[in-house]
Structure 1
Amino acid sequence: MAFEYLQESLNTRKQQALFRHRVCVQNGNARFIEIAGKTYLNFASNDYLGLADTQLDMQSAATGSTSSALVTGYQAIHRQFEARLCNLLGYQSALLFSTGFSANSSILKALFNDASSAKSCAIFQDKLNHASLIDGALQSSAKHIRFNHNDMGHLRARLEKSAAVNKLIISEGVFSMDGDSAPLEQLYNLKKQHDAWLMLDDAHAFGVLGKDGLGSCQLHQNKPDILVVTFGKAMASQGAAVLGSKTLIDYMLQYNRDYIYSTAMSPLMVNAASFQLERLLKAHDQRAQLRTNIVLFKQLCDAANIAVMPSNTSIQPVVLASAENVLQVQSKLQQSGIWLSAIRPPTVPANTARLRITITAAHQAQDIHNLVQQLEVQL
């Protein structure tokens, strides 16, 4: 019978404790979440600053853009928001995408879009980069080279060995599953030494790091050649932007198939993102509270001898090795009123299944004490 492998594959996933399913959230915010009529403390949200609880004036923008950006979908609200992002982040030009995944993957496919790229171009990626970056590289024509996580010696050796004319180094600002940060100064130095470009996916740093929450780049004088920021994490909205030189963005307008052939980002969502960006810039108290909460969590874990991966960001992973172990602990925590994510392969490497705990500015000290007490009981 045709397509019998579908059920066979699902059965295998279940046997390996890797089967994924969706959970319907009835209500939720950065502190609490309601599922199947029960309320839990929420330690699984990317709403790091607690900005998702807001009501917008939905009459202030049209719901649909009506077509792709290169037909009639590019409106004044898109141009104004792109200009605002460029001004804040120090870039010449920008493109808006409906998702960060599309932004990341399509940039790489477009940048290396012909067979000649295989000989003259190479992509150098951190092994822990997001799936969107890996997929984009695999679908491009460039040679795809991966270096060990945050290992600048390994990256240097890879660059020195390469004969490619056009080299692109790619990293995340804050890594989504480990919570640690990229060594940006070293990346900038290597890019300069090897006449390469640097692309940075700053999804989990934008809104959180920097004096005004402008992400990894606000912490450093130098800027990557290509910057991707997403609006669905700390900004608590939806969509993403790719920022770069005018030449880069003009090139994308010619060759980025995801952008060319997709309906432009909804003006309604652009309006929401614009509103949330201004809130994010003013969220100094929330960023300070977030830092306080992260420090408290790490101190309590240290006192309780709970091994947390080295991270100073909202993402605080506790590795439990096997998928079976992490699911068992997750279930026990849920019974105690705590909701958090069990991350398993292939999202993370084999034998590194983990509880991905996210701390937000909305959490109160008692919430964090409760979490650590329950972790101490269950681990």
Structure 2
Amino acid sequence: MSGFDSRLQAFKERKEETIRDKHMYYLNEIQAHEGQFVIIGGKKYLNFTTYSYLGLLGHPKINEAAKAAIDRFGSGTHGVRILAGTTSIHVALENRIATYKKTDDSIAYSSGYVTNLSTISTLTGNGDEIFCDIINHASIYDGCLLSRAKFTRFKHNDMEDLENHLKNSKAVGKLIVVDAVFSMDGDIAPLPKLIELARKYDCLLMVDEAHSLGVLGKTGHGIMEHFGLKEGIDIQMGTLSKTIPAIGGYIAAKKDIIDLLKYNARAFVFSAALPPPAAEAARVSFDVLEEEQWRLERLRDNISYYIKSLNQAGFDTGVSQTAIVPIILKDEWMTLETTRLLFEEGVFIMPILPPAVPPNTSRLRANVTASHTREDIDYMVDALSRVWKKLGMR
């Protein structure tokens, strides 16, 4: 048996064991979305896994925009952006993003993952150094590895550790990259200090706003608004598949950076353009974000109520301040069993295990949204308490 065959066999055995234990929760087939519920196997589940933080998935105005784009351009472009794949819808989307993020220009990629991967590997290379928070998203890590730049990880949100690395750097070009909201813990990057260090040590600063767009800031404009800042981030990254209910990712920055990316970023140059209906849905979503501020107010109320309710029930939510709420159970098997029993209670939730998180920090990632009601939250917390009592943990 070859080394490759051995790896295939090992994975097959692990998967079969997981299925025998009734712990296979991934790749569930969702048959329909109904507000804060999903239909799986003909049964309705209360959904605490979604990234639709403001509940825009299925919004009538956004759906109608996507349908109109299909009528005008069809379901795809059959081309890459740099050749024949750029439509007026793509141009309008990039203009809307730039206006929303208050930058010169923007570029829209076909996914959030390739946005980070391609942007980082295009802007940096041999002789440069990238400084990366140790719990940044995998797409950031992969972009750093692909770039061939020196890749330095600093302790999570530890600005003293970051500065120590910056002091010792001899790199030609330096790039600091962080998540705005960290996807496994729900905490927020210390942006003012990051800007201070970037300026002090002549670095570019790139911030991934995948989980902060529409969530942070008085009006949902993101992490700079959250901290009361008007500038300081050189490269603003975001996704079009979380708060924005479409697909894709973007970079908003000064025109020189965007021009460089549009002609050199391989995932932009060699990937098919975003389908026009998805691009138009994304564009109109930015309008809805600004028009329906009540959604952000409801989300903030729900975040506060949800975290408080979980903590009062004795559950550890770590350092979360946002819609990403980890329920840290530590033990892997207990986390999997809790997930299984919550499914039986009608709650759709997903387990997060090592190596996605550090050892002994297995958790449920239980996102809350503007679509959830107080009754939904109460049911979820009560169901979790019942499950833990059944498992002998109460």
Q: So what's the TM-score if we normalise by structure 2? A: 0.90
Q: Tell me the amino acid that sits aligned with residue 152 of structure 2.
A: I
3-state DSSP class of the match of 1:139? helix
CA apart distance, 1:12: 4.3
Give the counterpart of 1:338 among 344, 347, 358: 347
Aligned residues: 374
3-state DSSP class of the match of 1:259? helix
Give the counterpart of 2:9 among 7, 10, 20: 7
Q: Tell me the amino acid that sits aligned with residue 37 of structure 1.
A: G
Unaligned runs of 5+ in 1: none
- How many Å separate the matches in 2 of 1:15 and 1:169? 41
Task: State the Cα deviation string for residues 318-359 of structure 1 (Å, max 9, x = none).
Answer: 112232121110111111111111111222222221100101
CA apart distance, 1:59: 3.2
Instruction: Report the more deviating stretch, 238-247 or 125-134.
Output: 238-247
CA apart distance, 1:30: 4.8
| Residue number in structure 2 paired with 1:101 | 113
CA apart distance, 1:294: 1.1
Superposition pairs of residues 77-156 of structure 1, within 5 angstroms: 77-113=89-125, 117=126, 120-156=127-163
Change (3 A) 1:164 1:14: farther
3-state DSSP class of the match of 2:252? strand
Q: Which runs of 4+ in 1 moved over 6 A?
A: 16-20
Task: State the Cα deviation string for residues 202-221 of structure 1 (Å, max 9, x = none).
Answer: 01000111233211122322
- How many Å separate the matches in 1 of 2:262 and 2:354? 36
Change (3 A) 1:48 1:256: same
Give the counterpart of 2:27 among 16, 19, 22: 22
2:315·2:328 contact (CA, 8 Å) conserved in 1? no
1:10·1:19 contact (CA, 8 Å) conserved in 2? no
| Residue number in structure 2 paired with 1:159 | 166
- How many Å separate the matches in 2 of 1:236 and 1:314? 16
3-state DSSP class of the match of 2:46? strand
3-state DSSP class of the match of 2:64? coil
Superposition pairs of residues 169-318 of structure 1, within 5 angstroms: 169-219=176-226, 220-318=229-327
CA apart distance, 1:20: 7.0
Instruction: Report the more deviating stretch, 76-85 or 192-201.
Output: 76-85
Unaligned runs of 5+ in 2: 389-394
| Residue number in structure 2 paired with 1:34 | 39
2:110·2:271 contact (CA, 8 Å) conserved in 1? no
Change (3 A) 1:78 1:155: same
Counting aligned pairs with the same residue, the percent is 33
1:30·1:48 contact (CA, 8 Å) conserved in 2? no
| Residue number in structure 2 paired with 1:67 | 79
- Report whether the alignment pairs 1:378 with 2:387: yes
Task: State the Cα deviation string for residues 186-210 of structure 1 (Å, max 9, x = none).
Answer: 1001101111110000010001112
Q: Tell me the amino acid that sits aligned with residue 177 of structure 1.
A: M
Q: So what's the TM-score if we normalise by structure 1? A: 0.94
- How many Å separate the matches in 2 of 1:259 and 1:37? 39
- How many Å separate the matches in 2 of 1:19 and 1:222? 45
2:82·2:263 contact (CA, 8 Å) conserved in 1? no
3-state DSSP class of the match of 2:359? coil
